[in-house]
Amino acid sequence: MFNINYLFVLTSVVIIACGQIIFKYAAKELHIDPTQAYVAILRANVYPFGLVTIALALYLISTVAWVQALRTVPLSIAFMFNSIAFILVPIASSLLFHEPISRHFILGMALIIGGIILISR
């Protein structure tokens, strides 16, 4: 029978991956001039700092889902699912930011998937 808390594990991982993508968007939009005063930097970067706030809020939601999952899912099993983020983030960054993914990277992602399948049986 399916344990609903495994859904919380996957939700946590997907939310973390989304948070990473939002952090990248924020980093691309950030404009910091070291000669500016702190307040001027904040005013010039309201949008990127807003994105960072959203990403941090996603991390909070992810943590709540993670803690809920750990109520019944063994940590040794749940923790390996975090490696799914190592697949989701590069794929999303390739699609959204046109970052390259090498053949070696694809092989590594395949090994991660294989490892998850092997350990979860």
Closest CA to 111 of 76, 80, 89: 80
Look at the block and give the residue holding tokens 């990473």: 20
Q: Where are the alpha helices (DSSP H) in 30-102?
A: 38-44, 46-69, 75-78, 85-97
CB 8 within 8 A of CB 69: yes
Q: Which two tokens stand for residue 46?
A: 């309201």
Q: What is the DSSP letter of 45?
A: T
Please give the pLDDT value at position 1: 53
Residue with tokens 């809920």: 68
Residue 5: what pLDDT?
A: 85
pLDDT at res. 45: 82
So what's the pLDDT on residue 2?
Answer: 65
Structural domain spans, the chain: 4-120
Q: How far is CA 73 from CA 59, 78, 106, in A?
A: 20, 6, 29
pLDDT, tens digit only, all 121 positions of the chain: 567 888 999 999 999 999 999 999 999 998 887 787 878 887 788 888 999 999 999 999 999 999 999 999 999 888 998 999 999 999 999 999 999 999 999 999 999 999 988 887 7
Return d(Cα 121, Cα 84) in angstroms, integer.
16
